[in-house]
Structure 1
Amino acid sequence: MNAADTRQADDLLRLVREDLRGFGGYASARTCDLRGEVWLNANESPWANPADAAGGSRRYPEPQPPALRQALARLYGCAPEQVLVGRGSDEAIDLLVRALCVPARDAIVTTPPVFGMYAVSARLQDARLIEVPLVDGQAGFGVDLEAVAVAAERGGAKLVFLCSPSNPTGGSVPLEGIAALAARLAGRALVVVDEAYGEFSESPSAIALMPAHRNVAVLRTLSKAHALAAARIGTLLADPALVRVLRACQAPYPIPTPCADLAVAGLSQEALARTAARVEQIRGERERLARALAALRGVVRVYPSDGNYLLVRFADAGGAFARLLAAGVVVRDQRAAPQLGDALRISLGTPEENDRVLDALDAKETAA
């Protein structure tokens, strides 16, 4: 490691809470790399549960399942040492806020309207929340990166969360803008790019920025495009030094063995090929549904989206929500979110499910 790399690594670790920089965490029975035939070190049952035919669930799982970690590293094009696997992206967000933010002193920056877990984690840690609202323009909602940088600098933020594609608005953050922000905040803040919906976007991933910018971290998940929401497999991709710190703060056994096994199988070449085909189908449905919705009376605006959802403004959002619900279609009511008092977020389903959305919203006009 050259002098510049050493300086960047030191700057990154200085973002971690002072009292956690040397924290070792809990040493579980699976922490040490021990080998044996009779395992009597974890107070586990010597017999399987009667309902566990395979018998594997009587043993505690690997804290970071190696096969899964390697599969995720291949999927995202990084080293296994840069991968932290957790219970959905939510756990990674919580770990970042707890590990970096000193309660009642440090802050995080978010860009509402946006995914609510950033603010929830800040509240639980007593970290100050600095909000830089998205700008609603002709091309859709966008991030004012200059305002984000100023807010982070003036507010003493340790974390900046950028959701790209943003949930619920659908816009992506330009990669060059993220790089410039990371360079400006080097040594001051970690720029966390939440790419939960990245597979549905044609924009390049911020993972490409990590070699040059140690203060960039990326959140990914298998819940959306990979259809494994119930398995709760989220991934933080970050500098190995930061990954080690967060591992020490993580619960001992975050990934159940059945979930890890399912995820590894879901990342096989055959499964990935089918996932890619479904992503393309979702992209096609996104364009079709957007055009059809925009043609309906009562629809004020359909926002462009890089995710697997559409944000739609209605002349009567409450009435539209009620008609959809009466037709058995459940969408996300966004009316309580800032700037979205007349909006609903509609996830993309199968072609048949999307047709039900259109039929329900068009029913009132047809009856008239």
Structure 2
Amino acid sequence: MNGPPGSTSPLALVREDLRSFSGYSSARTSAPGVPARIWLNANESGAPSSCDPEGTSRRYPDPQPAALVEAFADHWATTPDRVVVGRGSDELIELLVRTLCRPGGDGVVVCSPTFGMYAVSAHLHGVPVTDVPQTDDELTWRVDTEAVREAAVAAGARIVFLASPGNPTGAVVPLHEVAALTEALADQAVVVLDEAYGEYAFQLSAVTLLEEHPTLVVLRTLSKAHALAGARLGIALAHPDLTRVLRAVQAPYPVPVPVSELGLHALGEEALAATRSRVGETLRLRDTVSRLLRDLDGVRAVYASDANFVLVRCDDPDALLHTLGSAGIVVRDMRHLPGLHDALRITVGTADEMSALDTALRENPA
């Protein structure tokens, strides 16, 4: 499997029993190309529901809605065969573990502190987890990609999960390090780069690396910058050999019709312009909130962030939680994560919400 960059198909890294797996043959995939006039193959209701008089949700949806897949592909300047749409990034993380790792074998590498679903999905499939903790200097966080490579080789890992920007760190992994790690592990593991907060970062997306690095997977979502967390829409961008298997492994009908319609609207020109404007406002507010927090007594560190939140270390997290809670403001206690025994994560909300945060901290300092 050795060769120049771009020569390694990820199919060799898929579980051997799934490489030719065709998956469940649903009603929407069992009769392709038929010029249908009357659909009697899926046991759907013949008449619409009173709560859906137009019948838009009467039929089972396309497992991968073509218009939505094409819209995502256009947005990321790639081809539809590189796109898998799922129920948020969570489903795609679970699909990758299920597709690439044998239960009770193989393994994944994570870099704590990080998004908990990587390890949760691995544990649910009996897949061992190797942690390569990040380092910080109370200004920013860093993933040691060389240590990650060594750990992945030693553990025989099949997936490396990286988040960029990271949650809860807010730090990016430089693209040249992602590329070097992916190339170094191409014969052994898939590198999954989770860019859930990518719209807030100044670094280019790793989607730009996909053509030269077939064993790289990039995750994106509409939950954050696009303000559709309740819709649960995420995508994996990957080599077509891998997306084919992921689609086969995925449960039928992952994208409900109303969700697909929301996604299409979100990827329209007008909505994307509004998203860019909203992101710009969030970045401005993030800088303001960071300065406010740095001036507070008892706050020891406010980390640089390329996301829509800031991570804070403080002398008395309980006091700060109480102060904000008394004003009806809920932030995320991160003390359950390795290395964050004194940390809270604060999301950057609207201007009014940040004004309320400012008021609560100034009038009732912890």
Calculate the TM-score normalised by the size of structure 1.
0.96
Q: Which residue of 1 aligns with 2:197?
A: 197
Paired position in structure 2 for 1:350: 350
State the distance in 2 between where 1:4 and 1:304 align: 37
Match of 2:115 in 1: 115
Equivalent-residue separation in structure 1 for 2:46 and 2:52 (angstroms): 13
**Pair 4,183 (structure 1): closer, same or farther in 2 beyond 3 Å:** closer
**Counterpart for residue 15 of structure 1:** 13
- Name 2:276's counterpart in structure 1: 276
Find the residue that maps to 2:89 and give its secondary structure.
helix
* Aligned equivalent of 1:306: 306
* Correspondence for 1:325: 325
CA distance in 1, matches of 2:6, 2:291: 52
The residue aligned with 2:175 is: 175
Aligned ranges 1:235-246 → 2 under 5 Å? 235-246=235-246
Partner SS, residue 57 of structure 1: coil
- The residue number in structure 1 matching 2:28 is 30
Which one-letter code corresponds to 2:26 in the other structure?
S
CA distance in 1 between counterparts of 2:271 and 2:364 reads 41
Shift in CA distance, 6/142, structure 1 to aligned 2, threshold 3 Å? closer
Could you give the per-residue CA deviations for residues 26-49 of structure 1, whole angstroms, max 9, x where no partner exists?
A: 000101323311110100000111
> How far does the alpha carbon of each residue in 1:335-366 deviate from its partner, in whole angstroms, 9 at most, with x for none?
11111111110000111111222222233349
Q: Which range moved further: 234-243 or 292-301?
A: 292-301
After superposition, the Cα gap between the structure-2 partners of 1:5 and 1:356, relative to the gap in structure 1 and judged at 3 Å, is closer
Q: Which amino acid aligns with 2:141?
A: F
Supply the distance in 1 between the matched residues of 2:141 and 2:321 (Cα, whole angstroms): 22
Which ranges in structure 2 are unaligned for 5 or more consecutive residues?
none
In the other structure, the counterpart of 2:336 is 336
Distance in 2, matches of 1:228 and 1:49, equals 26
Q: Which amino acid letter does the alignment assign opposite residue 349 of structure 2?
A: G
The CA deviation at 1:137 is 2.0
- Does 2:267 match 1:267? yes
Q: Distance in 1 between matches of 2:365 and 2:190?
A: 50
Letter in 2 for 1:342: D
CA distance in 2, matches of 1:283, 1:253: 36
**1:170-214 deviations in whole A, cap 9, x for unaligned?**
000000000100110011100000000000000111111111110
Cα distance in structure 1, aligned partners of 2:4 and 2:321: 55
Distance in 2, Cα, partners of 1:358 & 1:335: 23
* CA distance in structure 1 between the aligned counterparts of 2:104 and 2:85, rounded to whole angstroms: 28
Letter in structure 2 aligned against 1:164: S
1:207-218 equivalent positions in 2, closer than 5 A? 207-218=207-218
CA distance in 1, matches of 2:5, 2:183: 14
Shift of residue 253 of structure 1? 0.2
Number of the residue aligned with 2:57: 57
Match of 2:320, as an amino acid? A
Q: CA deviation at 1:14?
A: 1.3
Identity %: 50
Q: Does structure 1 retain, via aligned residues, the 8 Å contact 2:139–2:301?
A: no
Q: Which moved more, 1:344-353 or 1:27-36?
A: 27-36
Question: C-alpha root-mean-square deviation of aligned residues, in Å?
Answer: 1.4
Aligned-residue offset at 1:138:
5.2
Contact 2:5 2:183 in 1 (8 A): no
Q: Does 1:99 align with 2:99?
A: yes
The amino acid that maps onto 2:327 is A
* Aligned partner letter, 2:77: G
Q: Which amino acid in structure 2 is aligned with residue 255 of structure 1?
A: V
- Name the CA distance, whole Å, in 1 between partners of 2:295 and 2:139: 18
Pick which of 128-137 and 28-37 moved more. Answer: 28-37
The 8 Å contact of residues 324 and 361 in structure 2, kept in 1 or not, is answered as yes
Note if contact 2:109-2:157 (Cα within 8 Å) is conserved in structure 1: yes
Once the two structures are TM-superposed, the CA of residue 215 in structure 1 deviates from its matched residue by: 0.6
- Which 10-residue stretch deviates more, 260-269 or 156-165? 260-269
Q: Identify the structure with the greater helix proportion.
A: 1
| Residues 110 and 6 of structure 1, relative CA distance in 2, 3 Å threshold | closer
SS at structure 1 position matched to 2:158: strand
Letter in 1 for 2:295: A
What is the rounded CA distance, in whole Å, between the counterparts of 1:139 and 1:82 in structure 2? Answer: 37
TM-superposed CA distance for 1:275, in Å, is: 0.7
| CA deviation map 1:209-254 (0-9, x unaligned) | 1111101110000010001111111000000110000111001100
| Aligned partner letter, 1:16 | V
Q: Cα offset for 1:91?
A: 0.5
* 1:256 match: 256
Where does residue 165 of structure 2 map in the other structure? 165
TM-score by length of 2: 0.96
**Secondary structure of the structure 2 residue equivalent to 1:241:** helix
Mapped partners of 1:138, 1:113: distance in 2: 14
Matches of 1:259 and 1:138, distance apart in 2? 40
Aligned residues: 362
Secondary structure of the structure 2 residue equivalent to 1:58: coil
